[in-house]
């Protein structure tokens, strides 16, 4: 298996872990970059890995899986900025911040925290970072 193939498998493992967490939390997966789901739509400049919904509140959730070597990339920074700044535009929760969940391997969660802090996103209550593995 090549390094790129291995990275793809690891990324898919993280996506699946976040899908499972969302489902366990009672969310419905609307779109996901995972087998068996329709591909997510673009939000600002990028497509997230997962778009989920809380059926009770209609709040949308955005999920993104990041490998350790991708956490500090310019692309990741753009995604963090774009996905963390969304608010509900309609429904009973109009104006509410959209929860943004980031899943990373167990070995690099501090990297995400540092990047979020540098982007001045570290204190946003709608961002949750999860460790997997």
**Residues paired with 28 in a beta bridge:** 53
Place of tokens 């949750």: 128
**Residues paired with 103 in a beta bridge:** 65, 130
pLDDT in tens, 29-76: 999 999 999 999 999 999 999 999 999 999 999 999 999 999 999 999
Give this prediction's pTM: 0.92
- Give the CATH number, domain containing residue 74: 3.40.1350
CA distance 27 to 101: 13
Place of tokens 């673009």: 42
The first and second tokens of residue 109, run together, are 């969660």
For residue 61, the SS3 value is strand
* Residue ranges making up the domain that contains 43: 3-132
CA distance 109 to 14: 13
pLDDT in tens, 72-124: 999 999 999 999 999 999 888 999 999 999 999 998 868 899 999 999 999 99
DSSP state of 113: H
Interaxial angle between packed helices 109-118 and 74-84, expressed in degrees from 0 to 180 and rounded to the nearest 10: 70
For residue 56, the SS3 value is coil
Q: Name the average pLDDT for the chain.
A: 91
Number of domains in the chain: 1
């Amino acid at each position: 298996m090549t390094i790129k193939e291995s990275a793809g498998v690891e990324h898919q493992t993280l996506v699946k872990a976040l899908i499972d967490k969302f489902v366990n939390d009672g969310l419905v997966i609307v779109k996901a970059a995972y087998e068996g789901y329709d591909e997510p739509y673009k939000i600002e400049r990028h497509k997230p890995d997962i778009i989920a919904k809380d059926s009770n509140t209609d709040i949308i959730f955005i999920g993104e899986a990041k490998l350790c070597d991708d956490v500090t990339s310019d692309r990741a920074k753009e995604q963090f900025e774009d996905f963390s700044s969304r608010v509900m535009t309609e429904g009973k929760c109009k104006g509410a911040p959209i929860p943004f969940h980031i899943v990373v391997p167990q070995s690099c969660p501090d990297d995400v925290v540092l990047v979020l802090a540098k982007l001045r996103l570290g204190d946003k209550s709608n961002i949750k970072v999860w460790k997997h593995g």
